[in-house]
Structure 1
Amino acid sequence: MRVPVSWLREYVDLPAELTARDLAAGLISVGLEVETVDEIGADITGPIVLGRVREIEELTGFKKPIRYCRVDVGAANGTGEPQGIVCGARNFSEGDPVVVALPGATLPGGFAISARTTYGRVSEGMICSATELGLWEDHTGIVVLPEGLGEPGADIHDLLGLREDVLDIAVTPDRGYTLSIRGVAREAAATYGVSFHDPADVPVSGTAEGGYPATVADPAICSRYVLRGVTGFDPDAESPLWMKRRLAQTGVRPISLAVDVTNYVLMELGQPLHAWDRDKLRGPIEVRLAHSGEQLETLDHVKRSLDPDDILITDESGPINIAGVMGGATTEIDPTSTNVIIEAAHFSETHIARASRRHQLSSESSRRFERGVDSELQLAAATRAVNLLAEFGGAGVEEGYTHIDLSVAREPITIDERLPARVSGVDYPAGTTVRRLREVGCAVEEAGQTLWVTPPSWRPDITDPNDLAEEVIRLEGYGEIPSIPPRAPAGRGLTSGQRIRRAVGRGLAGAGFIETLSYPFVGEGHFDGLRLGPDDERRRAVRLTNPLNDDEPLLRTTLLPGLLRTLVRNVGRGFNDVALFEIGLVYLPKEGAPEYAPMPPVDRGPTPEERANLEEALPEQPRRVAAVLAGNRELSGWWGKGRQATWADAIEAAREVGRAAGAELRPRPADDSPWHPGRCAALYVVNNSDGGSGAGTLVGHAGELHPRVIGSYGLPARTVAMEVELDVIEAARTTVRAPEISGYPVAAQDVALVVDNSVLAADVEEALRSGAGDLLESVRLFDVYTGEQVGEGRKSLAYNLRFRAGDRTLTAEETTVARDAAVAAAASRTGAVLRG
């Protein structure tokens, strides 16, 4: 809402020294969102005066009509002689008062005026149009002023209001009443404790009989309906300059007097109005809901199919308006209309909001109706409009008018006078609550500390005691509320799960991965892109009743789609070497869970039975960790060539998760979507219950993605990924203890074992560990060889074994015995042969 400060001052006695920026700060302090203070006309300088055209000479011989005018500007030019000005406009005559910018003036946009020779004459200034002055958009010609504004040479700045401060307020949905000068003026009066003069205090003449016939089918869609008429309206009458100027300052384009009057009252009072050509109406008016199949051509000349939820204004010919949204083309005011009917109504907010969105028609009227307008303002607004049509359009106001009142009186709200103090923590003086609520416009009855408060008709947002408390608190000032930091009670720190998640995040970040967060919404297309089979459990997903995106109506069952989309976005922006990870929840539907979750009421807490039903409908939500890598894992530079990320890096990322969580992950060959067959590993966590000797529990997969998956997502070639169950890893983790540091030397032994190609290096390593005993400190595979020396179908695995004791230096015999025991165990379990 754009609010000219001079217009605001007409209705509230603001201090003369109060600047527009100070006023904006005051309104912000009571909860209004003043976004900017626009200083309109601040760039207009120099002599801009009232002039009177004395002579007009028509110049010939040019491609367009040109006039040389002698304009009386009084003593403003220093000589008192008429000023010679060349002008191309045709909408003025000799004797007309006009606006003249003399040499030395500057118009909006930095347009400097000077004397110059044009069309063979010296033009000493410019006769100005409304557009050139920044008043409003008008390309029909120059501004012809009304008589009586002043004598030639009078400064025009104040006469036309060229300089104006305008507040631009972002109106929140709960404060629809501030979509008007009246509403903002009331807020300003309460803010500064000054008098407010209500522009809606309009004497209503006439009688509520004999008006244009109308009926309302249902009070639920329209609680008040007013029609007032005028006759003998002059369709050629011009809107006064001050009205055009104010409309333009509020962001409304002046059109014609009849339209401008309805828009002016809308901006002034906040009540939407509609004007009809009375001679185009056919019989009585009825306010009703639309019937199936009805259509209406609206003012924008679009034929619209109407919905049974639309509120319509109809006559005997059918629909003539979509109520509160847009009028119909058949009854609009045209340049020949002389008899006018003004409509003012109070329509249902929810119906108007739905109709506006349904037909994609957001208008100044619908914005106000959907936020709630004053339910008692309609007769005053319609009267104000017909009085303006009579004053400036020569119309006669009809004595009779239509006023249908189906409204219900609002029930008072009971509130404890001390509630605002309890809510804010401020000890307000006695009587503050009553005083502030009356400033808001409430009717207050007192009975000790108990108050019965009836909110005003323009505040439909006030419905309970907390709303009333908010009004008191904001008018007293949010700045008065003390800032007292809450004192956190002593706690036990982070939970075990929180510590593990932070350790995992730090571990992956330390390994060069960047954490990302993805939306948990996916569609069937993502599952297709991952090449999940029709029976894959990951296709069983929870469906959202009201998804944000129709293409993603499901909750994710894997973290990979979000990570892969993020990877593609980064690569598309030139980041070719990417390593990303995410720690998040997936959502797995329970067996036998209902298709739709129950919706408990919001006016109370759920009952135990309702809570149980909700818990039953909620999906399982295990926590997982996933990572993706593309491009180089090791960058190239002066130190040497880079190294592309491979399936081994994905496995190592998963093992880093295990190490950070205090568990050990062991890879096994696997074939699972969306990974490449032969380059996919299943990851198992070692269980504590079997001492680490068993197969363990499957927690995820890692490896290179399948080429078709890479193609469907548009990923870089050879992209690798991993995903593991963090909750399962946490449950299987071992107790983390500080390592015992031995001061005795290490004894290292290398062994090379020849095994079949089908034997896994992990199995050989596990056998070596089990056979070497407690003296073994670590095992590291440092070489793999295949070739003629070991035979076809065989491979040589070379391991470095490190032995150390905590209480002594190992002898060569002890080291040899331990090494031989490790080799014997490997031979027994895997068929390994010590390479000669």
Structure 2
Amino acid sequence: MRAPLSWIKEFVEIPATVTAEQISDGLIRVGFEVEEIIQQGADLSGPLKFAKVLSIEEITEFKKPIRYVGIDCGESETRYVICGATNFAVGDLVVAALPGAVLPGDFAIGARETYGKTSNGMICSARELGISDEHAGIMVFAEYEVTIGADAIEALQINDVIFDVAVNPDRGYALSIRGIAREVAASLNLKFTDPVDALRSLKFEETGKGVSAKIADTSTASVFYLRTLSDFDPKATTPIWMRRRIEKMGMRSISLVVDVTNYVMLELGQPLHAFDKAKIKGGLTIKRAGKAQKFKTLDGVERILDPEDLMVCDDEQPLALAGTMGGLSSEITETTTDIALEAVHFCPVCIAKNSRRHKLSSEASRRLERSVDPSLAQFASARFVQLLTAHSSAKHVATVVDGEPIYAPLVTIDPAYVSKTLGFEISAKQVAELLRVVGCDVDEKSFTVDPPSWRADLLTAADLTEEVARMIGYDKIPSVLPPRPLHATLTPTQKRRRAVATMLASRGFAEVQTFPFTNQATIDSMGFVGERASTYKVANPMSEEFPLMRVHLVPGLIEVAQRNISRGAKDFAIFEMGSIFRSSQKLVAAISPDLSTRPAQKVIDEIFASVPPQGYHVAGLLVGKIENENWQGKARAYNWQDAIAYAQDILALCNLEWTVARSDLAPWHPGRCAELIVNGKAVAHAGELHPRIVAAYGLPERSVAFAVALSALPDSALVRPTTVGTMPAAVQDVALIVDSTVSAADIEGALRAGAGELLESITLFDRYDKIGDGKISLAFTLVFRAQDRTLTGEEVSVMREAATAVAASKFGAVVRTA
């Protein structure tokens, strides 16, 4: 949105001491972004005069058209210049830059020899003067518009400051000089004169019958003003001051009627559309298109209307795409003498849909879809009649109105809410004053606020609080960090999952992501049975090859390994984290409650209850060698101990206690699979994969895997603090002979139970199985430490004997002496 300072000054009393930069800072302070300050005319200096074309000599010996033109610049003698443009004739008035002038781009004008003639100046186009992008030819004026020899810089109002302001979607009122001027006045505490005030008492004489106006569906528009004018002279031209203001706003002058509609839109913010009355059959009605049909808009594009498109129609056909663009069949032309002017407050959503369906964004639609002041349909259309009748022979015939404006409701606000929300104390009186600056009417007794008609977005106390903050200045609001508990953070479950993934990645695992789909053949090949083989079938699978939801993560990892091995990979470790799906409950039909209001808690509970539980697991697959052969030693392949160790590391990372037991769970090798138990529940399995599966998928022999049910793990502290001992430790080794059927974990548990509270750690460091008679030897290192003293030899011996005694009573362990 461009806003010339000269136009803003019509509505705001801006002292000469206020600079453009201060105005820009003021707009920024109240929430607008000033993208550019354009100093128009700053790089242009005269003499620049209006001149009359007296003679034209065509020079034909060159490839391009060249004219030697005699012009009257109000001087005693005729001045001759060379010009390549052909859009002017003898008798026309043009703008001439005389020797000594400097045009934009540091282009100095002087007398010079060219094409065999002396050119004593230059006839200028709008682009060459830097006042417009229009380059169709030389600027041409009628004799009644300008004076020969007059200063063109002053007459064309070239010297001006133009602000290019970025307007947010909720500030549609600022897409007008009225809106920008109001914000400038508010930000700098200056007096603002509303241009609408001068239009409130404007009345026009009814001289005949006008075109009828009707809103077929009141949900699409609230008020429709249709003003009919007659006796318009199509030859009437746009006055220079109006043309220049339109150009400064980034638009081009077209014709008087179109220019006046654009001028009023830029001044007040209400889009208007003028129809050629002679092309209207009957009256005008705002209604839906109703059916798909062809419609040609003013840009010459033939469009296919959607039945839901909002249109302005006569009794026979659509004439305009409502609020977006007029139709070619009813446009104002060079023969138009009777005019019907439409001004409507449309539903913003309807206009936005029109614009997006046809990929047609116009100056009108950009304003209407952001919501326009409902009262402006009356005043903007009156302003059009005022301007058109003042600058042409047009006469007002009649004004027809349908509907009435609908304004935002009253809002009651507690001034204390404003202070609480902004975070600092602001008096009720100041709140009322700032809201009045915005345009609100405030009853300070009840603090009922009537939002201004142009602010349909002020509907709640929070909206009004934002306006108070904006008027105070965001830079003046103290910056205070919110209390820490209010900040967003990860849940304990999310932190646990991230910690596990980070740990595995740091150990050399590569994370993979597979689709959560499988088939019955894969389930059967893995040896899953019972509940572990029961799953859900997808109603519309991505592939008919994989119609079932997966029941385990390991099969997916095996397929990834198979694919990578076929591509040359040999030694690697991969892991995946994700959900598995087992048919643990019967599915019910989807529950789709009415969402116009919050569903009852019972319905919400039923929705959650209808969703089957989905276990969240982490699984890893280790393939090939963990160490290659080198000068330090032989190669070592991954084995079942590595898989169990990684599963235990995950549980240790979660600060959990566990026990280990043998398991023959598929898809692991029977007798080479361990089950990790927490609180009496199996939560993880690890070990060597079944040889049948290894062979079927072409994996290296004795490939190993682990899987941990993260969702089955109990909650635990993410960090478990430990105490660093300051006293010396007492280390004792003990070797016990037990039956080969007794596990090392059972013996370790018995030793812990008997050693007492001063046992700091226990480690299995040797297993000897060549004793015979079904016996094995297990050797442990026991570390004892007290926090307050050095343990004596006698104390350590007692604790050692107590530990071995428990192992002997539970498992028949005998202390090995040799």
Instruction: Compute the TM-score of the two structures, normalised by the length of structure 2.
Output: 0.70
What is the deviation of 1:98?
0.9
What is the deviation of 1:161?
2.0
SS at match of 1:324: coil
What is the deviation of 1:391?
3.9
1:154 to 146, 151, 155: 151
- Does the 8 Å contact 1:166/1:249 carry over to 2? no
- Pick closer, same or farther for the CA change 1:451–1:259 going to 2, 3 Å: same
1:806 to 772, 775, 783: 783
Q: 2: CA distance between counterparts of 1:257 and 1:557?
A: 75
Find out whether 1:777 has 2:763 as its counterpart: yes
1:444 to 433, 442, 450: 442
Q: Structure 1 unaligned runs (5+)?
A: 544-554, 564-576, 691-695, 711-719, 749-763, 782-799, 826-836
Q: 2: CA distance between counterparts of 1:336 and 1:634?
A: 93
Q: Deviations over 1:467-505 (max 9, x none)?
A: 3343334323334433444555899x9986576456435
Find out whether 1:471 has 2:448 as its counterpart: no
Q: Deviations over 1:318-343 (max 9, x none)?
A: 22222212222221223433322211
Paired residues for 1:133-144 under 5 Å: 133-144=129-140
**What corresponds to 1:27 in structure 2?**
27
1:595 to 590, 594, 599: 590
Q: 1: CA distance between counterparts of 2:688 and 2:99?
A: 80
**What corresponds to 1:661 in structure 2?**
654
- Does the 8 Å contact 2:643/2:686 carry over to 1? no
Q: Deviations over 1:356-380 (max 9, x none)?
A: 3333332222222222111111122
**What corresponds to 1:167 in structure 2?**
164
**What corresponds to 1:727 in structure 2?**
711
Q: 1: CA distance between counterparts of 2:510 and 2:119?
A: 69
**What corresponds to 2:455 in structure 1?**
459
What is the deviation of 1:650?
10
**What corresponds to 1:785 in structure 2?**
none
SS at match of 2:397: coil
**What corresponds to 2:344 in structure 1?**
345
- Does the 8 Å contact 2:297/2:327 carry over to 1? yes
SS at match of 2:367: helix
Paired residues for 1:288-307 under 5 Å: 288-307=287-306
Q: 2: CA distance between counterparts of 1:536 and 1:83?
A: 100
- Does the 8 Å contact 1:50/1:153 carry over to 2? yes
**What corresponds to 1:60 in structure 2?**
60
What is the deviation of 1:725?
4.3
Q: 2: CA distance between counterparts of 1:806 and 1:139?
A: 94
What code does the residue aligned with 2:214 have?
T
Q: 2: CA distance between counterparts of 1:766 and 1:122?
A: 118
SS at match of 1:185: helix
SS at match of 1:24: helix
Q: Which moved more, 1:313-322 or 1:651-660?
A: 651-660
Q: 1: CA distance between counterparts of 2:640 and 2:47?
A: 78
Q: Deviations over 1:264-319 (max 9, x none)?
A: 21121111111111111111222223324455333344444444433321112222
**What corresponds to 2:356 in structure 1?**
357
SS at match of 1:282: coil
SS at match of 1:132: coil
What is the deviation of 1:181?
1.3
What is the deviation of 1:668?
9.5
What is the deviation of 1:91?
2.1
- Pick closer, same or farther for the CA change 1:96–1:300 going to 2, 3 Å: closer
1:97 to 94, 99, 102: 94
Matched-pair identity in %: 34
Paired residues for 1:274-423 under 5 Å: 274-392=273-391, 394-408=392-406, 411-423=409-421
- Pick closer, same or farther for the CA change 1:62–1:669 going to 2, 3 Å: farther
SS at match of 2:166: strand
- Does the 8 Å contact 2:233/2:337 carry over to 1? yes
What code does the residue aligned with 1:180 have?
S
**What corresponds to 2:5 in structure 1?**
5
- Pick closer, same or farther for the CA change 1:610–1:768 going to 2, 3 Å: closer
The structure having more radius of gyration, on CA atoms, is: 2
Q: 2: CA distance between counterparts of 1:100 and 1:633?
A: 86
- Does the 8 Å contact 1:136/1:254 carry over to 2? no
What is the deviation of 1:86?
2.0
What code does the residue aligned with 1:7 have?
W
Q: 2: CA distance between counterparts of 1:272 and 1:745?
A: 94
What code does the residue aligned with 2:763 have?
E
- Pick closer, same or farther for the CA change 1:654–1:333 going to 2, 3 Å: farther
What is the deviation of 1:254?
3.5
**What corresponds to 1:204 in structure 2?**
202
- Pick closer, same or farther for the CA change 1:51–1:428 going to 2, 3 Å: same
- Does the 8 Å contact 2:440/2:449 carry over to 1? yes
Q: Deviations over 1:196-230 (max 9, x none)?
A: 22223325332467321222223332221111233
- Pick closer, same or farther for the CA change 1:219–1:498 going to 2, 3 Å: closer
Q: 2: CA distance between counterparts of 1:106 and 1:765?
A: 103
- Does the 8 Å contact 2:228/2:338 carry over to 1? yes
1:131 to 127, 132, 136: 127
Count of residue pairs the alignment pairs up:
720
What is the deviation of 1:541?
9.9
SS at match of 1:367: helix
Q: Which moved more, 1:395-404 or 1:412-421?
A: 412-421
- Does the 8 Å contact 1:224/1:403 carry over to 2? yes
Q: 2: CA distance between counterparts of 1:49 and 1:469?
A: 52
SS at match of 2:138: coil
Q: Which moved more, 1:655-664 or 1:137-146?
A: 655-664
**What corresponds to 2:560 in structure 1?**
none
What is the deviation of 1:133?
2.8
- Pick closer, same or farther for the CA change 1:665–1:508 going to 2, 3 Å: farther
Find out whether 1:481 has 2:467 as its counterpart: no
Find out whether 1:504 has 2:500 as its counterpart: yes
What code does the residue aligned with 1:777 have?
T
- Does the 8 Å contact 1:687/1:732 carry over to 2? no
**What corresponds to 1:14 in structure 2?**
14
SS at match of 1:342: strand
Q: Deviations over 1:488-533 (max 9, x none)?
A: 5899x998657645643553464468999x9xxx9xx985999999
Q: 2: CA distance between counterparts of 1:461 and 1:425?
A: 23
Instruction: Compute the TM-score of the two structures, normalised by the length of structure 1.
Output: 0.69
Q: 2: CA distance between counterparts of 1:426 and 1:734?
A: 39
- Does the 8 Å contact 2:765/2:781 carry over to 1? no
- Pick closer, same or farther for the CA change 1:115–1:746 going to 2, 3 Å: farther
- Pick closer, same or farther for the CA change 1:340–1:512 going to 2, 3 Å: farther
Q: 1: CA distance between counterparts of 2:71 and 2:573?
A: 76
Q: Deviations over 1:347-398 (max 9, x none)?
A: 1222222333333332222222222111111122112223333344x23122
- Pick closer, same or farther for the CA change 1:529–1:300 going to 2, 3 Å: farther
SS at match of 2:369: helix
- Does the 8 Å contact 1:387/1:397 carry over to 2? no
What code does the residue aligned with 1:697 have?
V
- Pick closer, same or farther for the CA change 1:533–1:727 going to 2, 3 Å: closer
- Does the 8 Å contact 1:278/1:340 carry over to 2? yes
- Pick closer, same or farther for the CA change 1:629–1:700 going to 2, 3 Å: closer
Q: 2: CA distance between counterparts of 1:617 and 1:469?
A: 43
